[in-house]
A and B are shown apart, each in its own frame.
Chain A
């Protein structure tokens, strides 16, 4: 990467970084503002996670250069996401299985 990109190209990247920065700051304020609306927990959860995912994707795509990364990195990341989802599913299903979905006071 270091030798291939020219200075003009990097300058273009810098402009994108600034746009991403502004978007991240804006989305942070939006998340906090929505939290103060005290929406029902399901909606609050969905909105918070959607915004966090958008923010995370922005950081990963532009700051971590995932928009233009090699196939090998993508394949490792897809595998990681599969394992992460499996981990969440196992944990949540374990709750419904072992605890029978009962709440602890």
Chain B
């Protein structure tokens, strides 16, 4: 059985089905992260001091706890991965499969760099006994960045599939495969946008 509208646009929507599907999924993701962001706003406007008391010590700014240079580095890593992701799609549009694999491979690599750096950040927090249960600030920090990290892992899994076994489709249905990469890209850029808002609001303010 053929799945309809994987390449051609559906006449009533004007887009192929997967594109509508991913945008609906991303809309639900906006509400997921939006709920947590609103929780963050709620907790923050209700606090006299932010981050406040942790382990008996008063912290007056997030930069006393979080490492801004590392956060900046990770922001640049994620932005770069968005560029390599869109370049992998553009390479397929230009019928260059080798470049596609190179760019998607770089995207996966950059995603790993992001996670490794985040892992170092987390372990540094744990060394100082900064756990989620220790303060409201740490709870929302770990929840937001943790959920974002899970999304990065999800992106790695999907992209790794399209880099490896899933790329066989290029030989049989190149247009459908190109659309798949566009969809994977839409998800990946969304993960980037979430970080674009997370970084300044949690690290810098």
Binding site for B on A (CB under 8 A): 1-3, 5, 7, 10-11, 13-14, 17-18, 20-21, 24-25, 28-29, 31-32, 35, 41, 44-45, 48-49, 51-52, 55-56, 59-60, 62-65, 69-73, 76-77, 79-80, 83-84, 87-88, 90-92, 94-95, 99, 102-105
Are B205 and A59 touching (Cβ within 8 A)? no
Q: Which residues from chain B contact A83 at a C-beta distance below 8 Å?
A: 31, 34
In the bound complex, residues from chain B placing their C-beta under 8 Å from that of A95 are 42, 45-46
Most chain B CB atoms below 10 A, which of A1, A76, A83, A87? A1
Q: How far is the CA of A69 from the CA of B92 in the complex (A)?
A: 19
Q: Is the CB of A103 within 8 A of B47?
A: yes
A-contacting 9-mer, from B83-91, B118-126, B152-160: B83-91
Question: Which residue of chain A lies nearest to B186 when distances are taken between CB atoms in the complex?
Answer: A64
| A-B contacts, CB under 8 A, total | 157
Interface residues of B (CB under 8 A from A): 7, 9, 13-16, 19-20, 23-24, 27, 30-31, 34-35, 37-39, 41-42, 45-49, 52, 63, 68, 72, 75-76, 79-80, 82-83, 85-87, 90, 92-95, 174-176, 178-179, 182, 185-186, 189-190, 192-193, 196-197, 199-201, 203-205
A71 surroundings in chain B (CB, below 8 A): 14
- Distance, CA A11 to CA B90, complexed state (A): 8
* Chain B interface, DSSP helix/strand/loop, else mixed: helix
Chain A neighbourhood of B92, CB < 8 A: 2
The answer for the CA separation of A44 and B205 in the assembled complex, in Å, is: 7
B193, A59: Cβ atoms closer than 8 Å: yes
Residue of B nearest to A18 (CB): B83
5 additional A-B residue pairs with CB within 8 Å, beyond A70-B13, A73-B15? A11-B94, A32-B68, A41-B205, A92-B38, A99-B46
Q: Is the CB of B27 within 8 A of A77?
A: yes
* Complex CA distance for A76 and B31, rounded to whole angstroms: 13
Neighbour of B196 across the interface among A14, A45, A56, CB < 8 A: A56
> How far, in Å, is A42 (CB) from chain B's closest CB?
11
